[in-house]
Amino acid sequence: MTANPRLLLVNGPNLNLLGTREPDVYGTATLADVERLTAEVAGSLGYEVRAIQSNHEGVLIDAIHEARADCVGIVINPGGLTHTSVALRDALTGVSLPFAEVHISDVYAREEFRHHSYLHDVAAVRVIGRGIDGYADAVRELIGSL
């Protein structure tokens, strides 16, 4: 029996604080809620999810590299690394897995520095400003593009 195809769910710095961090911006759902929603939607489409969250860029990069072995795509909310990390971009393009970039808030309605994404032009899917439902949308769109 063959295992279901797998997606890697990556959540970057400070997303472990979901539910308590600036609820007026990010809502009251927790990281556990995000992971559960993502796994449920992926599961309904015949996919598994492996989730990682870290406040350390290198840990995220290592997880992305490891995804080459057993994942067919990546759903990533890079948090603040969106606007600063060429290394994260290089990891994502280096593994040659399609990925969806997700942001809970509408980054274009916030501070100007949040308008720039190092990932926007290499992401297969971008979902911005849909709250945690954006993760579900990203999974559906990414799987639909595979």
**128 annotated ligand binder:** no
**105 annotated ligand binder:** yes
**90 annotated ligand binder:** yes
**77 annotated ligand binder:** yes
**104 annotated ligand binder:** yes
Q: Which of 47, 103, 118, 135 is catalytic?
A: 103
* Whole-number Å distance between alpha carbons of 138 and 101: 8
> Known catalytic residue: 103?
yes
Residue 52 near residue 77, CB atoms below 8 Å: no
Q: Which of 26, 47, 118, 135 is catalytic?
A: 26
Length of the chain: 146
| End-to-end C-alpha distance for the chain, whole angstroms | 22
**114 annotated ligand binder:** yes
* Whole-number Å distance between alpha carbons of 119 and 100: 9
Residue 91: both structure tokens together: 């990891």
Known binding-site residue numbers: 77, 83, 90, 104-105, 114
Q: Catalytic residues, which ones?
A: 26, 103
Binding residues for substrate: 77, 83, 90, 104-105, 114
